[in-house]
Amino acid sequence: MKGFERFVEQQIQEALEDGRLSGLPGEGKPLPQRSGAAFVDAVESAGYAMMTKSGALPEELRLRRDLAEARAAFAACDDPEERRRLMARITDLDLRHNMTREKRIGRRF
C-alpha cells in the first residue's frame, strides 16, 4: 500500500504545482462536517450503497436499526415487566452490534 500512497501523493503534488487544484469550488473554506460513515473504506462504502439499493442490509446496520427501535419502544413503555424484557433485548442487541462492528473493523488491520 505504501507504493500506492506515494503515487497518490505524487499526483497531488504535481496537480498543486500545475495549478490544477486552484480555483475549485469551496477553496479556502472549511470542509463540511461528515458523519462517521465518511471514514469508512471506499470499497466498503460502495458495497453498502449497492446493498442498500438492492434492499439488502448488512448485519451491522440491521442490528443498529433494531437497537434504535428497541430503545424507542423502551422509552415509550410504562409496564415494568415489558421494560425489563426490552432492556434485556437492548443489551443483547447492543452486544451483538458491537461484536459485529469490531469484527468489521478488525478485518482492516
Distances (CA, A) of 43 to 37, 49, 88: 12, 10, 35
- Is there a domain that residue 97 lies in? yes
Q: State mean pLDDT over 87-98.
A: 96
Q: What distance in Å separates the CA atoms of residue 36 and residue 54, rounded to the nearest whole number?
A: 23
- Is there a domain that residue 38 lies in? no
pLDDT, the chain, mean: 84
- Residue 14 C-alpha cell reads as 504535481
pLDDT score for 109: 46
- Is there a domain that residue 25 lies in? no
- Is there a domain that residue 1 lies in? no
Q: State mean pLDDT over 80-104.
A: 94
Listed range (4-13, 15-24, 27-36, 57-66) with the worst mean pLDDT: 27-36
Asked if residues 98 and 85 have their Cβ atoms less than 8 Å apart, the reply is no
Matching residue, cell 486552484: 22
pLDDT score for 87: 97
What sections of the chain are H helices per DSSP?
2-18, 42-54, 59-76, 80-108
- Is there a domain that residue 89 lies in? yes
- Is there a domain that residue 29 lies in? no
Q: Does the pLDDT of residue 42 top 50, yes or no?
A: yes
- Is there a domain that residue 13 lies in? no
Q: Model pTM?
A: 0.52
Asked if residues 47 and 66 have their Cβ atoms less than 8 Å apart, the reply is no
In a 3-state reduction of DSSP, which class is residue 20? coil
- Is there a domain that residue 7 lies in? no
* Sign of the C-alpha dihedral computed for residues 48, 54, 58 and 61 taken in this order: positive
Count of structural domains, the chain: 1
Angle at 41 between CA 33 and CA 21, to 5 degrees: 60
- Residue 94 C-alpha cell reads as 447492543
105: containing domain: 59-109
